[in-house]
Structure formats: structure tokens, C-alpha cells
Amino acid sequence: MKDFEINPSILSADFGHLADEIQKVEKDTTFLHIDVMDGHYVPNITFGVPVVKAIRSETNLIFDVHLMITDPMAFVEAFAEAGADMITFHVETVDDPEKVISKIRSLGKRAGMAIHPDTPIEKILPYVEKCDLILIMSVRPGFGGQHFMEEALERIAAVRKVVDEKDLKTIISVDGGICNETIDRVVKAGANLLVAGSAVFSNDDHSKAIKELISCVS
């Protein structure tokens, strides 16, 4: 992985032309962030397994599937089969995170754990070395286009500390409110995979938007 990468979130893409939207970001990224919402863990519904399967044949980007659903264990297999490369579930939704991590890994996929802004960061720290990715939410999950919560910065730094102290390869991802004004602080706090929805897809020229985000990191 490079020092840091932009991970476009298709939540803000034009769902009527998903394949075209993905094509427009393909040259500027290696990842694609896919938000799955069940209307239960979060107050919104997006898409599920059939959509992941449908776009799988359209691109070779690494599919980073962010499950915002109450029962991730029940669906990891289906998302793995549909073509997810990384599957991230919320620490708040499971009793035994290690069981879910093992399940995802047994399917040959990379395992990620996400944390809601209201959950103390200590809850996730013991799992940093057990996961391939930690996803720190910097907005309340459920919707794109929200403002970045500054409190996320010290939470990112806390995870970065564990990664550095233990010399781990765990990816530190941040999701919500990443834009030209916030990205530099987020990278400096220690994140290396920046999910960006509206900042990329609200700009007609998605490729230019990604380049702009990258150029805002000093």
C-alpha cells in the first residue's frame, strides 16, 4: 500500500449508472468502498449482495464492503461469494468479534472492524492486531455528506499508536466527512485509507476530485 490512498464510497454515486461511475474512478484508486445498510443498525437502506455481485464483473478494484447491519455473521459468506475482498463489520453489532474475523478469514477475505463515534475507542484497540483493517467512523453511520467529527483525530492517533508500537500492517481507515479541508489532518493523525463519498462523486469530474484530495495532503 502507498502512504495513503483514497477509497471512493459509491454511496454518493449515481445508482442508475453505477458501472459508469466506477469506471470513472478506476484509474485513480485501487479500492472501492461499498456501504451496505439494513435500515436497522442504521436508519437508512442501501443495497445488498446482488448489487455487489453485479458490479463485481465491471471492475478489478478491491471491494471494501462496509457492513452497517445488525447481524453481519449471517451475511459474510454471501458477500464473500458475491466478490467482496475485504469485509468490515461494526464492533457494536457482535458479541464475539474474533468469531466474525475468523469466519471472514476462513473465506479467504480480509477482515475489518468498524467503530461508531459513540463507542469508546478502547473497545476496538484489543483487536487492532487481529484485523486487516480498522475503520474509524468520523460521522454517525447512515448517510453521506455529513461534517467530519474532529474527535475522530485522537481516536485515529490511538489506533496508530498500537499499529506502530506492535509494528503491525493493519490498515487504518477513516470514513465520513473526508474533504479537501479535512484530509490533511486525518492523514497526519495516522490514517492511510481515506473513504470519500460526496467529495468524489458530487464533483462531476470524479478523477479530478480524487487528485485534488491527494494534493491537499502536505
Binding mask 130-169 for ligand DX5 (x = CB under 6 A): ---------x-xx-xxx-----------------------
DSSP run (H or E) holding 66: strand 62-68
Residues 116 and 123: their CA atoms lie apart, in Å, by 11
Active site residue 20: no
The dihedral built from the CA positions of residue 43, 96, 82 and 65, taken in this order, carries a sign that is positive
70's grid cell: 445488525
Window 166 to 205, contacts with ligand DX5 (CB under 6 A) = 175-178, 195-199
**Cβ closer to ligand DX5: 83 or 176?**
176
Stretch in the footprint of Zn ion (CB under 5 A) among 20-28, 36-44, 59-67, 152-160: 59-67
Active site residue 96: no
29 binds ligand DX5 (CB under 6 A): no
Residues 163 and 125: their CA atoms lie apart, in Å, by 10
Stretch in the footprint of Zn ion (CB under 5 A) among 45-53, 58-66, 78-86, 162-170: 58-66
**Selected catalytic residue, list 28, 118, 175, 205:** 175
24 binds Zn ion (CB under 5 A): no
Nearest-approach distance from CB 109 to Zn ion, in angstroms: 17
The edge-to-edge listing of strands for the beta sheet with 5-8 is 5-8, 193-196, 171-175, 133-137, 110-115, 86-90, 62-68, 31-37
Residue 2 in 3-state DSSP?
coil
Strands 133-137, 110-115: pairing is: parallel
Query: Site residues (CB under 6 A) for ligand DX5?
Result: 9, 11-12, 33, 35, 66, 139, 141-142, 144-146, 175-178, 195-199
Query: Site residues (CB under 5 A) for Zn ion?
Result: 35, 66, 175
State the catalytic residues.
Answer: 35, 175
